[in-house]
Amino acid sequence: MMLTIEVTQDRDACFVLRHRVFVEEQGVPIEEEIDVMDEVATHMLATLDSAPSGTARVLFDGETAKIGRVCVLPQGRGTGMGVALIRKGIEIAQEQSGITRVKLGAQVQALGFYEKLGFEVCGPVYDDAGIDHRDMVLNLA
């Protein structure tokens, strides 16, 4: 098994993966899945044995990098791909001057996954596209 995570300009490949996981699997309304932030985001593409299998994006706002739209196809789950995507997102954040923290909106059932990577819950549960989420933060300083 060969796993790679790279920054990509191939947004369409990322959108296909996100559609499969968020729209088809989780029932997120299609009109909420792709947004204007995709145009300015840094996109990551994960491949498993050369097949696109996961993606995430990073946005920058002041001192904060926000990792979002994290998804892994079923065949990539349990392979470490999700961890690798988050670590790559943190690495991208650390490479940007002035970034002091990484933030994400985690689906409630995934809180433990992110806590193992050093993120801490902050704020209440909120609804995002019909799915309960909580914000989480990792301080870099």
Per residue in 26-66, pLDDT tens? 999 999 999 999 999 999 999 999 999 999 999 999 999 99
Name the band, by pLDDT with cuts 50, 70 and 90, for residue 1: confident
In one-letter notation, the amino acid at residue 32 is E
Cβ proximity of 101 and 139 under 8 Å: yes
Compute the distance between CA of residue 51 and CA of residue 4 in angstroms, rounded to an integer: 10
Domain residue spans of the chain? 3-139
Query: Rg for the chain (alpha carbons), in Å?
Result: 14
CA 114 from centroid of its chain's CA atoms = 11
Q: Which CATH class is domain 3-139?
A: alpha beta
How many C-beta neighbours within 10 Å does residue 84 have? 19
pLDDT at 141: 73
